[in-house]
Every structure is written in structure tokens, then in C-alpha cells.
Amino acid sequence: MSNKIVDLRSDTVTKPSPEMWEVLRSLDDSSLGDDVIREDPTVNELEATAAKITGKEAALLVSSGTQGNLVSLLSSTRPGDEILLEAMSHILYYEVGSAARVGGLTPRPYFSNKGIASLETDLQPLIRPRNDDHQPWTTLVCVENTHNNHGGTILPPTYLSDLNTFAQKNENMRIHMDGARIFNAAVAMKLPVTDFTVHVDSMSFCLSKGLSCPVGSIVVGSQGFIDKARKNRKMLGGGMRQAGIIAVFGLVALEDKWIKRLEEDHINAKHLARGLKELELPIIVDEPETNIIFVECPINTPMEKLVNELSHKGILTFNKANKLRLVTHYGITAEDIAFCIEQFPLVLKEIFA
């Protein structure tokens, strides 16, 4: 058993930074109010900041990325509509079927290359004609950026722009972006986040992943959209009262220097991937675009054993089918990466012996 723990399971395991704790300690009664009646000055400031950074009219603090996505879907559609979801997307895979169950929506999967679909062959055939009484209307297409299950891959602004033109041509379909890790995409491409958001109608992004806040996500869009989203959030039980106690972390997280810190995670991911690739082992290591690495193992690899053995060496990972997922984040240092590169071969060589 190792004393050292390098937790690469997810960027959701992050703890607040010293600056975040400091700002939390500076709160007093005047920093808080009842947010359901819009009287929490800290939440109001966070929402105004988020809207400004993303170039949208308005923003709404929600409890999680899952709630942000559901609130967004409910606010852009009507029950009975069909929505297009990427086949490996978080909304389709991991949100408990809420679009169908709560929204009365028909989720229709589309295939893609690492999150990027061909508009002509993957998406166009899925659009329902409006003049056929048998068919539901296709009113929303969702994208995920970066794409978690494809390994933190980026959907660049050029693609989002083409998708926007495509959506307009198809009955002005709305576009929702699950931008849980959109700042990773922006930092990796060295572009302002507005280069991505300008092409979509709505977006949710997480404060609680790479930005390392303990709780919270933000939904952004037009004022009319956010008015509906606020009501839908209330319906889902997400109206919080003195929520400034959570929002205050987000104000630190949205500072430019904290967003730019994500670059460290990308550098660490690249080092780790390179170190693993150099091992002469039967594994395929994807080149990370951001902070997520997938390590593909041969089909009969005892994955549970592998995850257990790694954890005994102090390296925590998640496995998805025959792939290991490794995520770099705040709290993981260059020394931790060097430690992993040293320990990994010891375990892998034994597993593949």
C-alpha cells in the first residue's frame, strides 16, 4: 500500500484553492440574501460575471451539470419534441434518462468522430420533416465540449459555426452545448470562450470540475431563455436560498488566472500520455487534447484487477469497458505525474505478464 495518493479518477475530486477559502472567510451577512427572490448579491454578481465572460445576455447558477443540462433542455423544447444527442454524450449516458422522463422528449442519438458529426451524413438524415403528422419535430441538437467519453476532445469554433448554419437551415433548430469543460477547450485552443459560445443558443458549464469549486454549474443564454430556465430550476427543486455561500467560489474560479491554470492540467496530461506511450506494453494511449486520457487495454484485460493494483500503488483511476480513464486537475503536480510514470509499468507489466 502506498502512502501517496494520486487521484486521477476525475476532475470532480478537486478541492477549493487557498484563494477560494480566503474569499469564503471574507463573507458576512451583507454578502448573502434569498436567491429565489433574487436578493443574494454574491449569486447576482456571479451570474453577471458568467454572462459577461461567455458573451450571453444572462446566466443562472444551478446545483450541478446534470441539472444545468436538464433545465436547458426543458427551456428550449416542448414535450413531444425530438432532440439529437451525440451517441456517447453525458446527457444520453449518465443523466438518468431525464430528458425523456421529465421533459417528455424523444432523445435520438447521432454518431460522430470524437464529438464532431458530419452534418450531411450523421445529422441531416435525422431531421424530421415538419409536414408529416406522424412525426415529432426535431427542435434541438446538443453537443458536448470538451467531449468526456471521447477523451476530452474539442469541438472547435469552426465546427460550431457550421452546425449553427445547419441548425438555422433546419427550421431554426436550437443548439445546446454541454460545456461542462468548455474552459478546457478555450484554454487548449488559446481562444476566448466567446469564440465557442457565440454559435450556440445555450450552454451549461461546470464550476465543480477543472475550475475546482465544491458545488455548482452555470447555464447561459438569452434573457428569455434564462427566464424560462429559472422557472424550470424552481420546478426541479433547484431554487436555493442564501446560495452566495456556494457562488463565492465561482467568483474566484472565473478569474482569468484561474481559468488559464487549466493549461497546467493539459501539460500534465500530455506528459503522462507520453510516459505511458513509451512503455513497451500492449496498450493504446490516446494523445490528450485537454485533461482526459484514455488508455485502451487488450480486450481480455482484467480491468478490475488493474484498477485495484494501481490503487495499491496510490494511483486512483476509473475504468470504462476496456479503457482506463485518467484525468488531470488542480492538485495534481508534475511530481505526481513523474510518480505515476514510474509506478504504472510495475503494475501493467505484472497484469500483462
Ligand X SMILES: Cc1ncc(COP(=O)(O)O)c(C=O)c1O
Q: How far is the CB of 90 from ligand X (least distance, A)?
A: 4
> What's the chain's length in residues?
353
C-alpha cell, 96: 438518468
CB of residue 338 vs ligand X: minimum separation in angstroms? Answer: 27
Rank residues 43 and 177 by Cβ distance to ligand X and give the closer one: 177
With CB under 6 A as the contact rule, the residue among 144, 201, 289, 336 that binds ligand X is: 144
d(CA 186, CA 167) in angstroms, rounded, equals: 23
Cis before residue 146, ω within 30 degrees of 0? Answer: yes
- For the window 174-213, what string marks contact with ligand X as x by the rule CB under 6 A? ----x-x-------------------------x-x-----
Closest distance of CB 227 from ligand X, Å: 23
On whether the CB atoms of residues 351 and 31 are closer than 8 A, the answer is no
Q: Does residue 112 touch ligand X according to CB under 6 A?
A: no
Shortest CB 115 distance to ligand X, Å: 10
Between residue 64 and residue 93, which ones bind ligand X under the rule CB under 6 A?
A: 64-66, 90
At how many degrees (to 10) do helices 41-54 and 244-253 cross?
30
User: Closest separation between CB of residue 62 and ligand X, Å?
Assistant: 9
**233 is an interface residue for ligand X by CB under 6 A:** no
Q: How far is the CB of 131 from ligand X (least distance, A)?
A: 35
d(CA 206, CA 218): 6
Q: Per CB under 6 A, which of residues 302..341 are in contact with ligand X? A: none
Which DSSP category does 288 fall into? Answer: P
> Is residue 148 involved in binding ligand X (CB under 6 A)?
yes
Query: Which residues neighbour 326 within 8 Å (Cβ) at sequence distance 6 or greater?
Result: 8, 269, 272, 292, 293, 294, 295, 317
Task: Count the site residues for ligand X by CB under 6 A.
Answer: 11
Residue among 69 and 138 whose Cβ is closer to ligand X: 69
Distances (CA, A) of 94 to 99, 106, 138, 320: 11, 16, 22, 13
If DSSP states are collapsed to H, E and C, what string results for 272-283? Answer: HHHHHHCCCCCC
Give the nearer residue to ligand X in terms of CB position, either 148 or 343: 148
**Piece in contact with ligand X (CB under 6 A), picked from 44-52, 62-70, 250-258, 283-291:** 62-70
51 within 8 A of 73, measured Cβ to Cβ: no
Binding residues for ligand X, rule: CB under 6 A, are 64-66, 90, 144, 148, 178, 180, 206, 208, 217
